[in-house]
């Protein structure tokens, strides 16, 4: 009994560590654009992101319920095996998260978590313990649809912002004011991140508590909500300091109006999805918005090669973290209690090794920049966009007047 309790405590600690890496990994997603466009000082941006992640975690528990009450049939797994399975799944997720963070590969913390849990469950128990219907409808489909949705919305919002503020007389258009607006929209993205991402860890801890018989309802307990909220906020704050130096460099082309629209659509998509219990990747939604808003500017073109690289990174996350989770589960299945100990030692070694390696490397755009910033490069925007129909008409009128004046002067 004591060993089981110890294992549960160990798994909760590991889940909270995942929550910390999630905040650490995703700080830039919320705050990349306001820093790039000069709307906020990095110090203020990161503190604001941390506080709003904390607040967001208390906003809803629908995503937590999706994870704790749907993806895995906990009644088909013995309570003695279940903590070890979750432990293995979390090791898969954390290892993949740290590895992609170090290598600067586009990835999603959420999909790493799902991949790790699914891979570990399949190997440790069998495919029948997974509800693939819920996995498909609440994880896989939203993963495909949400970035597209965010992209379409950001495209429309950016067009709207530019059309409303466009001036044809060359006088100030007031678009500078979007920089102030970005303080609010980026805050909303941070809030949305807390609402969706903190809940994933809440869901995992709740699932564990249900499986060992310490809880019956899929609703997360208050201490779980507090623990996850505080941990993701701490991760966000800590992560920010590392990425701060190079945060904005991938987003040189993002104008304040575009950044404002992208963030508004990211926040709206994540918040409305969270309310319906869809477990989204905030990285993917924010990337979709940045690409969509880039296309909303005149004279922009998609760099399909960059888009392809980002999408391949996303597609790899689920199977890769699943493979690591499956491997960790295999060791547990073969060696029992010793397997858990070996997994723990291996995980600590991998995490410490990756962390030390990251400290040796210089912080640059390849290893510290957010994936969202990377997606800013997926759209090529020309410096001198082609004129709008009305601008062309004005140009023609001016040319006609000029030629008329020249004719008058020659007579």
Partner 1 sequence: MNLTINWISFVEVFVAAMLASVVVVGFYALGLRLLVRAGRAPVVGPAEFTDAIAVITDKQRARAAKAAAKAARKSPLTDGQKRFALVCAYASFAVCGLAVLGGLLLILFNH
- Binding to partner 1, residues 269-288 (CB under 8 A): 269, 271-276, 278
CB of 237 to partner 1, least distance (A): 17
304-363 binders of partner 1 (CB under 8 A): none
List 14, 86, 98, 188, residue binding partner 1 (CB under 8 A): 188
> Nearest distance from residue 276's CB to partner 1, in Å?
5
Please, which residue, 31 or 98, has the CB nearer to partner 1?
31
Of 14, 72, 105, 157, the residue at the interface with partner 1 (CB under 8 A) is: 157
Choice from 78, 171, 213, 389 touching partner 1 (CB under 8 A)? 171
User: Which residue of 16, 264, 327, 329 would you call a contact of partner 1, by CB under 8 A?
Assistant: 264
Backbone angles phi, psi at 212, to 5 degrees: -90, 0
d(CA 318, CA 140): 10
By CB under 8 A, residue 224 contacts partner 1? no
> What is the enclosing helix (H) or strand (E) of 23?
helix 2-36
Question: Can you tell me whether residue 272 is helix, strand or coil?
Answer: helix
Strand bridging mode 379-381 / 300-302 = antiparallel
Residues 16-35 close enough to bind partner 1 by CB under 8 A: 35
305-340 burial, b at 16+ Cβ within 10 Å, e below that, comes to: ebbebbbebbebbbebbbbbbbbbbbbbbeeeeebb
Part in contact with partner 1 (CB under 8 A); list of ranges 13-21, 96-104, 160-168, 373-381: 160-168
Query: CB under 8 A: which stretch of 70-78, 112-120, 203-211, 247-255 binds partner 1?
Result: 247-255
Among 126, 177, 336, 337, binds partner 1 (CB under 8 A): 177
Establish if 153 lies at the interface with partner 1 (CB under 8 A). yes
Nearest residue (CB) to partner 1, 210 versus 247: 247
The 3-state DSSP class for residue 350 equals: helix
**Shortest Cβ distance from residue 6 to partner 1 (Å)?**
34
**DSSP calls for 43-107:** HHHHHHHHHHHHHHTTT--HHHHHIIIIIB-GGGS-TTTHHHHHHHHHHHHHHHHHHHHHHT---
Q: Which stretch binds partner 1 (CB under 8 A): 22-30, 95-103, 240-248, 376-384?
A: 240-248
What's the number of CA atoms in the CB half-sphere (13 Å) around residue 142?
25
Nearer to partner 1 (CB atom), residue 27 or residue 61: 61
Residue 226, interface with partner 1 (CB under 8 A)? Answer: no
Instruction: Cite the beta strand spans of 228-328 per DSSP E.
Output: 300-302
Residue 245 CB, nearest approach to partner 1 (Å): 5
Nearest-10 Cα torsion for 281, 284, 289, 295: -160
CB of 4 to partner 1, least distance (A): 32
The helix or strand, by DSSP H or E, that contains position 380, with its residue range, turns out to be: strand 379-381
Residue selected from 175, 242, 297, 377 as contacting partner 1 according to rule CB under 8 A: 175
For residues 191 and 347, which CB has a smaller minimum distance to partner 1 in the complex?
Answer: 191
Q: Does 249 bind partner 1 (CB under 8 A)?
A: yes
Q: In angstroms, rounded to a whole number, what is the distance separating the alpha carbons of residues 399 and 292?
A: 35
Nearer to partner 1, 54 or 157 (CB): 157
Contacting residue, 108, 186, 261, 321, with partner 1 by CB under 8 A = 261
Q: In the structure encoding, which two tokens stand for residue 41, read together?
A: 């000082």
- Nearer to partner 1 by Cβ, of 43 and 400: the residue is 43
Least CB distance to partner 1 at residue 44 (A)? 8
Select the residue interacting with partner 1 from 96, 178, 237, 314 (CB under 8 A). 178
Helix 282-295, helix 2-36: angle, nearest 10? 20
Residues in 101-140 that interact with partner 1 by CB under 8 A: 132-133, 136-137
40 touching partner 1, by CB under 8 A: yes
Q: Cα(404)–Cα(407) distance, rounded to whole angstroms?
A: 5
What spatial distance separates the first Cα and last Cα of the chain, rounded to whole Å?
Answer: 106
Alpha-carbon dihedral 168, 154, 50, 253, rounded to 10 degrees: -50
Tell me the sheet residues that pair with 300.
381
Q: What is the closest distance, in whole angstroms, from the C-beta atom of residue 170 to partner 1 in the complex?
A: 9
């Amino acid at each position: 009994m004591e060993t089981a309790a110890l294992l549960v405590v160990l798994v909760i600690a590991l889940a909270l560590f995942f929550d910390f890496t999630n905040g650490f990994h995703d700080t830039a997603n919320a705050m990349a654009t306001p820093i790039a466009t000069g709307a906020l000082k990095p110090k203020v941006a990161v503190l604001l992101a941390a506080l709003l992640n904390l607040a967001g975690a208390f906003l809803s528990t629908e995503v937590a319920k999706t994870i704790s009450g749907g993806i895995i049939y906990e009644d088909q797994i013995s309570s003695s095996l279940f903590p070890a399975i979750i432990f293995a799944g979390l090791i898969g997720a954390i290892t993949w998260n740290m590895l992609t963070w170090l290598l600067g590969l586009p990835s999603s913390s959420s999909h790493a978590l799902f991949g790790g849990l699914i891979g570990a469950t399949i190997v440790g128990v069998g495919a029948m313990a997974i509800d693939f219907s819920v996995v498909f409808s609440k994880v896989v489909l939203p993963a495909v649809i949400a970035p597209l949705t965010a992209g379409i919305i950001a495209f429309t919002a950016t067009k709207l912002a530019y059309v409303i503020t466009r001036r044809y007389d060359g006088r100030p258009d007031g678009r500078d004011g979007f920089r102030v607006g970005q303080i609010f929209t980026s805050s909303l993205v941070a809030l949305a991140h807390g609402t969706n991402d903190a809940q994933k860890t809440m869901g995992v801890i709740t699932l564990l508590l249900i499986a060992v018989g310490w809880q019956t309802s899929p609703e997360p307990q208050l201490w779980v909500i507090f623990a996850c909220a505080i941990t993701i906020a701490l991760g966000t704050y800590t992560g920010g300091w590392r990425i701060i130096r190079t945060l904005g460099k991938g987003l040189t082309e993002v104008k304040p109006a575009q950044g404002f629209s992208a963030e508004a659509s990211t926040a709206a998509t994540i918040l409305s999805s969270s309310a319906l219990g869809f477990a989204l990747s905030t990285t993917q939604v924010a990337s979709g918005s940045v690409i969509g808003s880039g296309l909303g500017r005149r004279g922009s073109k998609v760099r399909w090669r960059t888009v392809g690289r980002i999408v391949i990174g996303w597609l790899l996350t689920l199977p890769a973290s699943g493979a690591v989770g499956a491997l960790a589960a295999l060791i547990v299945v073969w060696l029992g209690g010793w397997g858990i100990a070996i997994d723990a030692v291996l995980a600590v070694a991998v995490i410490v090794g990756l962390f030390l390696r990251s400290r040796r490397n210089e912080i640059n755009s390849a290893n510290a920049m957010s994936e969202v910033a990377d997606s800013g490069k997926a759209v090529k925007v020309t410096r001198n966009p082609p004129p709008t129909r009305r601008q062309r008409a004005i140009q023609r009128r001016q040319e006609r007047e000029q030629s008329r004046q020249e004719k008058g002067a020659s007579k």
